[in-house]
Amino acid sequence: MSLPIPAALFLLLQTAAVVPADSAEAGPAAGAAAAVAADQAADAEPVVEWTPTWSVGVSEAGEHPLIRSVIQERLTRWLQKLPGAQLDESVDLTRAEFRRAARKSLRRYALFIDRAAADVLSIQVLDEQDLAGLASLDLQCPGCDTKGWEVRLNEGMSALIDALGPLLKASEPKPDVPAVVVEPDVAKGDASLSFQFRELGSGLKLIGVSVTVSQGEQTLCETNSEAKGKARCVELVAGDYEWAASFTGYKPATGKVTLAAGEAIFRPVDLEPTRVNRFSTTIRGRGPSREVTRVRLTREELEDIPGTGGDVVRAVQSLPGVARPPGLSPLIIIRGSEPDDSLFMIDGFRTSLLYHLTGQGVVENETVELLDFVPSNFSARFGRSHGGVVEVTTRDKHAEEWTRRIQTDVYAGSVFAAGPVGKKDMLWLSFRRSWIDAVLPLVADVLPLDFAVAPRFYDYFFKWDRKISGGGRLGMVYQGALDKVKFAIDQPPDFDPSVRGDISTLTMFHRIRPYASFKIGDWRHKSSVNIQLESFNVNLAQAFKLTVENYRKSWRHEALRKLSDSMDLVLGVDYQQIYYNVNGKASSRPQEGGGRGSFARTESEVFDSPGVVVRPGAYSEARYKSGLWESLLGLRVDTDGANWAFYPQPRFLTKRYLTDKRFDLRFGLGAYSQPPRPDETISPFGNPGLFWEHAGHVQVGGGFTDPGGFSIESSLFGKRVIDAVGNAQSQDEAQGTQGLGGLGNVGEVRGYGAEFLIRQRKADFPVSGFIAYTISRAERKDREGEDWRLFSFDQTHVLTAVATYKWTTRFSTGFRYRFASANPETPNLGSLFDSRTGTYIPIPGAPFSERPPPFWQLDVRADYKILRPGWRLQLYLDLQNATSRQNIEGISYNTDYTEQEYSYGLPLIPSFGIKGVF
Amino acid sequence: MARFIVMSSLLLCACGEALKPFTVVDRLRIAAVANEPVQPTPGQNFSVNMLTLREAEDETPLTLLATACVSVSGGQACGPADPEMPYAGLPTEMVHTVDGVNTGARENGWTFTWPQGAFGVGLVNIVVVNCATPDQVDTVALTASLATLVEEGEVAAPEGWSCAEDPLRLSRSVWLARHLVPPVMGEAPSVTKAVLHPPRMVRTEDQTQLEEGLVRTALTAPFVGQPSRDEPRWSWFSTSPRGVVMRVTASEEGANTALVDAERTSDYSYWAVMRDAMGRVAWSHMRLTTDQVIPEP
């Protein structure tokens, strides 16, 4: 059969078939075909004229928030692009009914919008003449209201129309379209052939696979797989048969089978995915905008980023606005903010530990659903911070079957399992333990360190989630992580010979988080309580000891109500109570911009400071949408039990779509307040009288987002912090006996710059990746009357380019290239011997006035998958710093600061990993 | 917490590969500065002594200058607002030699008078210049040069000076030291001077895994009288044909170990320097002669 359609686009096109007229097992589609065939047979006209026109249908109301009338309104524009399109006005339409009607009207193409699930809007495009699926899209829009879903539907239809371009151009049917010949006198038998179609490697059940069973030239059965990927052909006579299966996005499969009389054969078929899948597109929504810039990355996108060792959380260090951290240190420096100024959230609650000390995220890859990165101008939902936000959302989508995964690399090994328990409950479990303590002794001779306890970590995750009535959820998360390392210093560092003994750190958290989402009246509520125990201990060679123990109780409740078609309202409570105990022994506390210092320079003090912090917060957001404008006005009010001072923080965001809604312009302005950090308020080095720092964020941006997966975003940003905590006394003056004390709200911070992000993640293109570039400047003024100086992590240029190329379904390679200006350094002009400690104090020059040569690094990665029915094995090799470039990480000095040299970062680090999924 | 992580990583990263470690003393090293009495009172004279070490063969000229004041401003150096402490005697100098040959160790001393009615922390600034200078050092020119040095990191040698590292540049041939002299604190008992016995060296029981010809020894420099309970930290220096080596230890007795040539062609010197949290500094030294037998423990 010849059709005016590029063969590459329509792998599923098959010859129209004669279907047993009374086949009840062949599924609705086949049944519909049978009905058509029966009608045609009754008219004794063997030739049926299909028209290349379109039927469009919307499913019966399921749990989805989009109502039918809204969908119809949104479709009006798109129906004009579908030749001869006719909308099926039937209410409570099932997919089978719709297809039957479409066939009856002899409209060849059918587009069906399925609203069965609350969180997915599925669009299927079918060729009814050939009984084939042409395209399918699953639109997702986490957290969206109906307006958001409307936007998503538009995006999806736009992508679909683009993809179907060749088909739509060939709208005129050829006069010699072969007719479907109905053979009414096929012999009936009592044998049957059943199939179950699964995706090779994952075992995912495939619905909609087109399968034909034929004998020679005669097609005896044609049907599509339905629930659980099953399809069945019945009433077959004994004999030899050939079967063929095809499905968009998968390689076709064929086979032969011999049936005896009365025999029922079951044939599981695993279809291999093609390298790219033009029509199987999942459009992940941006959701209703709560921020000017929000970069959302899925686990699948994050996992393969070269240079991250496959760690999804670590990948955030490659995003625009994030400065390169020194060496392997797990710091996130966002738009010139100190790492402690940014929020690191897991499921809406702050965590003090987002990374293990070896750089891996504390949340195991498979438990991550999404990672959101908001560099500034974040929503009123977040507070007590004026940096950026990194939020990890753990998995919440229910699956039909259990999945298990075992993974190991040179750093750690992990196990993961997820699956349903009954119809409403879902469980996720994971555990990971590092291997490093076992690997390091093998290379101990080449390391300069003597590990008393080699680095080790573990993390675990347990989540239970239940679907409740009204589209609500009930569940609980229990997770935690621990890091421990201890090593002996054989040779004290040159800058401080007094440092001897062990260096050890211990960090850990354990949290339990029950949650519920439900609807009461017109309000949709989300409520969650987080109870967290966290501890941080550092012991630096007997000269510095610090233990921070927090028992953190938090509660977040958010209620959303739609006030009108164009306006909705969010009200929220964000309550935090922390019981802390800080104890240790130190001579000073490190301060941004301070010198390297000597632990022995001043007298050590022993301290033990327990206390309680109570910080209630409340917020409200009103979203208004009118035409091409969308605005969000938020207000957050925080207070502190220390003095019950109130800190109102208004935040405003507006977005205007251009006529082509793939383009938009955005503007954000907001106020942000942040309490002083615990170590800044606790005696003997802190000042209990410190109050909150206040910041203003402003951002102007614009973007182009192609629903298919290509996007460009750019923004100009600025930030100003007043009342920043700093030393009220200059370092120069403080070198006497009093040490570095006298903290006060005396500093100022400012930062500004521009960011660009180009992303490619189209499913029909073998290349995916992004290019992120930031040019910025971050400055500080330590106290009134002083000049502005550069922030110690200021990096003028940061460029990251990531690309992955899929050579085949099984094999892909990728690279990550990073270029960044080096962190500024304060030159040392000489030194001063301090007789009390016997050490040399550097005489600093202009603060951060020198910058070493820039950093660049190339990481490469190769992935190979072994796909087998029901399981797959993924092997990867990740080479960090593949060229083994000697990058400068800082400047080292000899003991009296008369000589200096660059210290270099790590050479090539290979990481090999294996992941088995079954 | 992030700053603590950075601090930890700095400790790990601050290891240059080409730079000589602090244990190798190949240029002049200020080892210690001490004053007596430890807590002078206004109107009282007090002495300041400084111990420096460098390689024995290094006989380039050294010029040492010291000024003192009662620090009111809290700065690193004495300023116009800080009451000056006048000299109460001539400077002293003792170059340690063995049979007329330098060991590399040198002790210099100055005596000052704490002005009546001046309260605060005593601050002694010492400048060590490794340059050949005219007979009469122009202190005004030197002060101006030092000011330039701490402003810019580089400064030319004053006219007529010839410096060891670079004859025309003062920058690489000058060392600055700051010594704080704590006053008596109210009713608190006054701090007495710490005195050390000369170091004692014995063979250790463990003589395994040594290069041929070396003996492993243990060194101690006990206090005279009560040992310090105030977190004493110890620095050890040894001078020998192998060069000047520094080691540190934190034990109360200052116990340290040293590898010594069994057959020695010249005398070795060992210096123990103790500092404690009370601000006391003391040092003592021993000489290990060529024919001296290292006693068993």
% of chain A surpassing 90 pLDDT: 29
* CA A570 – CA A308 distance, rounded (Å): 37
Enumerate residues 6+ apart whose C-beta is below 8 A from B212: none
**Tens-digit pLDDT profile for residues A885-905:** 988 888 888 888 888 888 888
Torsion angles phi and psi, residue B199, rounded to 5 = -60, 150
* CA A180 – CA A553 distance, rounded (Å): 69
Residue A757 has, within 13 A of its CA and on its CB side, a CA count of 25
Distance from CA of A350 to the nearest CA of B (A): 14
B281 and B31 Cβ atoms separated by less than 8 Å:
no
State the DSSP string of A502-559.
EEEEEEEEEEEEEEEEEEETTEEEEEEEEEEEEEEEEEETTTEEEEEEEEEEEEEEEE
* CA A154 – CA A290 distance, rounded (Å): 20
In chain A, residues with a C-beta closer than 8 Å to the C-beta of B283 are: none
> Residue A511: its pLDDT value, please?
95
Q: Which amino acid is at B138?
A: D
Query: Using the beta-carbon criterion (under 8 Å), do A603 and B172 form an inter-chain contact?
Result: no
A281 and A49 Cβ atoms separated by less than 8 Å:
no
Query: Using the beta-carbon criterion (under 8 Å), do B19 and A494 form an inter-chain contact?
Result: yes
CA nearest A493: which of A39, A18, A56, A895?
Answer: A895
Please, which pLDDT band fits residue A40 given cuts at 50, 70 and 90? very low
A678 token code pair? 């615990």
Residue A97 has, within 13 A of its CA and on its CB side, a CA count of 12
A334 in contact with chain B, both atoms CB, cutoff 8 A: no
Query: Using the beta-carbon criterion (under 8 Å), do B6 and A899 form an inter-chain contact?
Result: no
* CA A224 – CA A110 distance, rounded (Å): 15
Enumerate residues 6+ apart whose C-beta is below 8 A from A8: none
In chain A, residues with a C-beta closer than 8 Å to the C-beta of B120 are: none
Query: Using the beta-carbon criterion (under 8 Å), do A838 and B275 form an inter-chain contact?
Result: yes
* Region A855-882 average pLDDT: 91
Query: Using the beta-carbon criterion (under 8 Å), do A830 and B275 form an inter-chain contact?
Result: no
A596 in contact with chain B, both atoms CB, cutoff 8 A: yes
Nearest neighbour of A890 by CB, restricted to B13, B152, B178: B13
Question: From residue A898, how far is each of A853, B22, B104 by CA, in Å?
Answer: 21, 12, 20
Enumerate residues 6+ apart whose C-beta is below 8 A from B143: none
A834 and A797 Cβ atoms separated by less than 8 Å:
no
The highest-confidence range among A176-180, A371-375, A760-764, by mean pLDDT, is A371-375
**Which of residues 355 through 394 in chain A touch B, CB cutoff 8 A?**
357
Q: Which residue has the higher pLDDT, A808 or A49?
A: A808
Would the pLDDT of A37 be above 70?
no
Q: Which residue has the higher pLDDT, A597 or A349?
A: A349
A398 token code pair? 């229910």
* CA A180 – CA A16 distance, rounded (Å): 6
In chain B, residues with a C-beta closer than 8 Å to the C-beta of A686 are: none
In chain A, residues with a C-beta closer than 8 Å to the C-beta of B20 are: 894, 899
> Residue A26: its pLDDT value, please?
34
Distance from CA of B82 to the nearest CA of A (A): 14
Q: Which residue has the higher pLDDT, A631 or A129?
A: A631
A886 in contact with chain B, both atoms CB, cutoff 8 A: no
Please, which pLDDT band fits residue A279 given cuts at 50, 70 and 90? very low
Element (DSSP H or E) covering residue A168: helix A165-169
CA dihedral A378, A384, A388, A392 (to 10 degrees): -90
The highest-confidence range among A260-264, A311-315, A758-762, by mean pLDDT, is A260-264
**Residue in A with minimal Cα distance to B171:** A830
Would the pLDDT of A746 be above 80?
yes
> Residue A39: its pLDDT value, please?
39
Query: Using the beta-carbon criterion (under 8 Å), do B10 and A338 form an inter-chain contact?
Result: no
Enumerate residues 6+ apart whose C-beta is below 8 A from A357: A330, A455, A457, A483, A485, A505, A507, B5
* Region A11-36 average pLDDT: 32
Residue with the two structure tokens 């619905």: A207
Residue A500 has, within 13 A of its CA and on its CB side, a CA count of 12
Enumerate residues 6+ apart whose C-beta is below 8 A from A107: A50, A51, A53, A54, A55, A84, A86, A128
Q: Which residue has the higher pLDDT, A826 or A330?
A: A826
In chain A, residues with a C-beta closer than 8 Å to the C-beta of B17 are: 901
Q: Which residue has the higher pLDDT, A436 or B293?
A: B293
Torsion angles phi and psi, residue B13, rounded to 5 = -90, -15
Q: Which residue has the higher pLDDT, A858 or A228?
A: A858
CA nearest B13: which of A883, A831, A328, A795?
Answer: A328
A775 and A797 Cβ atoms separated by less than 8 Å:
yes
Enumerate residues 6+ apart whose C-beta is below 8 A from A324: A317, A795, A798, A818, A820, A855
Query: Using the beta-carbon criterion (under 8 Å), do B11 and A498 form an inter-chain contact?
Result: no
Enumerate residues 6+ apart whose C-beta is below 8 A from A644: none
**Tens-digit pLDDT profile for residues A536-562:** 888 877 677 888 899 999 999 999 998
| Beta-bridge partners for A210 | A224, A246
In chain A, residues with a C-beta closer than 8 Å to the C-beta of B10 are: 596, 890
Query: Using the beta-carbon criterion (under 8 Å), do B76 and A732 form an inter-chain contact?
Result: yes
Would the pLDDT of A286 be above 60?
no
Q: Which residue has the higher pLDDT, A485 or A549?
A: A549
Nearest neighbour of B75 by CB, restricted to A495, A733, A896: A733
Torsion angles phi and psi, residue A158, rounded to 5 = -60, -45
Distance from CA of A719 to the nearest CA of B (A): 21
A151 token code pair? 């936007």
Nearest neighbour of B176 by CB, restricted to A357, A489, A830: A830
In chain B, residues with a C-beta closer than 8 Å to the C-beta of A340 are: 1-3
Please, which pLDDT band fits residue A446 given cuts at 50, 70 and 90? low
**Which of residues 544 through 573 in chain A touch B, CB cutoff 8 A?**
544, 546, 548
Would the pLDDT of A619 be above 90?
yes
* CA A671 – CA A720 distance, rounded (Å): 10
> Residue A166: its pLDDT value, please?
64
* Helix axes A95-104 and A27-42, enclosed angle (nearest 10): 20
**Residue in A with minimal Cα distance to B17:** A903
Enumerate residues 6+ apart whose C-beta is below 8 A from A902: A852, A888, A889, A890, A891, A892
**Which of residues 829 through 848 in chain A touch B, CB cutoff 8 A?**
829-838, 841, 843, 845
> Residue B85: its pLDDT value, please?
93
% of chain A surpassing 70 pLDDT: 82
In chain A, residues with a C-beta closer than 8 Å to the C-beta of B34 are: 835
Nearest neighbour of B19 by CB, restricted to A448, A830, A899: A899
CA nearest B26: which of B220, B287, B243?
Answer: B243
* CA B156 – CA B162 distance, rounded (Å): 10
Would the pLDDT of A200 be above 70?
yes
B123 token code pair? 């601050």
Would the pLDDT of A664 be above 60?
yes
Return the number of other C-beta atoms located less than 10 Å from residue B241's C-beta.
Answer: 12
Give the range among A126-130, A522-526, B197-201 with minimum mean pLDDT.
A126-130
CA nearest A526: which of A393, A418, A356, A400?
Answer: A393
A896 in contact with chain B, both atoms CB, cutoff 8 A: yes
Q: Sheet with B214-220: list strands edge to edge.
A: B200-203, B214-220, B256-261
Tell me, yes or no, if the pTM score tops 0.80.
Answer: no
A544 and A584 Cβ atoms separated by less than 8 Å:
yes
* CA B242 – CA B255 distance, rounded (Å): 22
CA nearest A613: which of A576, A661, A584, A652?
Answer: A576
**What is residue A443's DSSP assignment?**
G
* Region A787-791 average pLDDT: 91
**Tens-digit pLDDT profile for residues A170-185:** 554 444 434 343 444 5
Element (DSSP H or E) covering residue A668: strand A663-674
Consecutive 10-residue averages of pLDDT for chain B (297 residues): 50 56 85 91 92 88 90 78 90 87 90 89 91 81 81 81 83 87 76 88 85 87 80 85 79 78 88 86 91 84
Please, which pLDDT band fits residue A501 given cuts at 50, 70 and 90? low
Query: Using the beta-carbon criterion (under 8 Å), do B2 and A339 form an inter-chain contact?
Result: yes
**Which of residues 731 through 750 in chain A touch B, CB cutoff 8 A?**
732-738
Question: From residue A274, how far is each of A8, A128, A278, A806, A870 by CA, in Å?
Answer: 11, 23, 10, 10, 17
* CA B65 – CA B108 distance, rounded (Å): 10
Enumerate residues 6+ apart whose C-beta is below 8 A from A14: A130, A131, A132, A210, A212, A222, A244, A246
For chain A, helix (H) and strand (E) counts, in that order, are: 8, 47
In chain A, residues with a C-beta closer than 8 Å to the C-beta of B164 are: none
**Which of residues 790 through 829 in chain A touch B, CB cutoff 8 A?**
827-829
Torsion angles phi and psi, residue A21, rounded to 5 = -65, -30
Query: Using the beta-carbon criterion (under 8 Å), do B13 and A892 form an inter-chain contact?
Result: yes
Would the pLDDT of A212 be above 60?
yes
Q: Which residue has the higher pLDDT, A440 or A799?
A: A799
* Region A191-196 average pLDDT: 90
A540 and B7 Cβ atoms separated by less than 8 Å:
yes
Nearest neighbour of A498 by CB, restricted to B8, B151, B233: B233
Nearest neighbour of A498 by CB, restricted to B17, B248, B279: B248
A50 in contact with chain B, both atoms CB, cutoff 8 A: no
Return the number of other C-beta atoms located less than 10 Å from residue A516's C-beta.
Answer: 17
> Residue A902: its pLDDT value, please?
86
A856 token code pair? 């660049």
**Test mutation, A546, A792, A833, chain B, max B CBs within 10 A:** A833
Element (DSSP H or E) covering residue A124: strand A120-127
Would the pLDDT of A425 be above 80?
yes
A540 in contact with chain B, both atoms CB, cutoff 8 A: yes
**Residue in B with minimal Cα distance to A498:** B248
| Omega within 30 of 0 (cis) for the link into A142 | no
> Residue A13: its pLDDT value, please?
27
CA nearest A22: which of A13, A11, A32, A7?
Answer: A32
Would the pLDDT of A573 be above 90?
yes
